[in-house]
Amino acid sequence: MTSRRYMLVAWMGLLALHPGCATTLGDVRLHADGAPMSEKCPEKSLEVMRYLQLYVGEAVWVQLDANQSRAEHITLHDGPIESVLDEDIGTLEAPMRLYGRVWTGGEQPVIRYYEAQFLKGKDRVPICAVARLGFGQLRKRPESKPGTAILNSSRAGVYIVDEFR
């Protein structure tokens, strides 16, 4: 067993001692346009990210919606989202799942990730990450209806954060 696997097994034991550490999604306040306001990353998530060697500013590519992977255009809806890591980051190995929430109220969707799901049925772990693309590439297409965001790409960068801004 590699040292990475030992670390994950040890971490899973630590997580079992601290149930209920994920962020409650309903606690996020919204701006007038429906975009979420800033939100602190929970201390437990910060602790877990340090242990998993996930450092603020690190980024990897993801398929934004596990149900629309590699599509030319995708439609995101307000609410929960399941994304798929395309690359390893820290001790998280692709194709790990990321779970979060989408808000489509502004000019571009806001996607925040609160949990990562280990493969083979292991527990979810708390994290703080956001989806981003530069140069307006995550902007909604003009034909997007309220509550949805039609995007030109199924991929985005996911960045580890210590606070959602």
Show Cβ contacts of residue 32 under 8 Å, excluding neighbours closer than 6 positions.
Answer: none
Q: What is the dihedral of CA 90, 80, 126, 121, to 10 degrees?
A: -80
- Letter for the amino acid at 15? L
The H or E element that residue 10 is part of is: helix 3-16
Q: Where are the domains of the chain?
A: 3-164
Closest residue by Cα to residue 39 from 49, 48, 51, 30: 30
Separation CA 62–CA 66 (nearest Å): 9
Separation CA 145–CA 142 (nearest Å): 8
Cis peptide before 146 (omega within 30 of 0): no
Residue 83 phi/psi, 5-degree rounding, is -115, 165
Could you tell me the sign of the dihedral formed by the alpha carbons of 65, 67, 68, 69, in that order? Answer: positive
> Which of 39-43, 92-96, 136-140, 145-149 is predicted with the least confidence, judged by mean pLDDT?
136-140
pLDDT tens digits, 1-20: 455 544 444 444 444 434 33
CATH number listed for the domain at residues 3-164 = 2.40.128.260
Q: Which residues pair with 129 in a beta bridge?
A: 113, 160
Mean of the per-residue pLDDT values for the chain? 85
pLDDT tens digits, 17-44: 343 333 444 468 888 888 899 999 999 9
